Amino acid sequence: MIAIGCDHGGYELKIAVTEHLRNKKIEFVDLGCSGERCDYPDIAEKVCEKVTGGECEYGLLFCGTGIGMSMAANKIKGIRAAVCSDWFSAKYTRLHNDANVLCLGGRVVGAGLGIELVDVFLETEFEGGRHVERIKKMMKLEEK
Ligand code: RB5
């Protein structure tokens, strides 16, 4: 199960991505918004709670740039959110950072690229190995 949310800046991209997920029969829960003006931290919180609570494996967040969503998401314990606008980063943030939330900018990437980024993110497994200790160290920084 994937948790999904957007603000008004990411709404159109979210619609394109959710249509794609539906076609692929990938289950998701859409936590808003419906296109109305709203504050991205509120949506980031709802989506990330589904991930940290274990109900959802991954979160997808969409705003204008993807940046506000990623900043807000990364304030939440247990979240490793990455804002990506290229395929390599979307792949390697799973392989090396074990990212559990992908943030995309609806004013940065189009639907075609956005869908590719979501696909590679969801399909790539964490590599483990030497990255495990690095992630442990990174997550310890939450205590600072
Ligand atoms: C909303 O206008 C915009 O600021 C928001 O979508 C996002 O880009 C923030 O990072």
The pLDDT, as a whole number, for residue 30 is 98
pTM of the predicted protein model: 0.98
Atom of ligand 1 nearest to the CA of 69: 10
Share the mean pLDDT of the chain. Answer: 98
Q: What is the pLDDT of residue 120?
A: 98
**33 touches ligand 1 (CB under 6 Å):** no
Ligand 1 within 6 A of CB of 62: no
Walk me through the domains of the chain, giving residue ranges and CATH numbers: 2-143 (3.40.1400.10)
Cα of 63 to ligand 1 centre, how many Å? 5
**Residue (of 1, 4, 105) closest to 46 by Cα position:** 4
pLDDT digits (tens, 9 = 90+) for 35-55: 999 999 999 999 999 999 999
Mean pLDDT along residues 89-110: 98
pLDDT tens for 112-143 read 999 999 999 999 999 999 999 999 999 999 99
pLDDT tens sequence across 75-86: 999 999 999 999
The predicted pLDDT at position 18 comes to: 98
Query: Nearest Cα to 96, choosing from 56, 54, 134, 140?
Result: 134
Residue 93 CA to residue 83 CA, distance in Å, equals 9
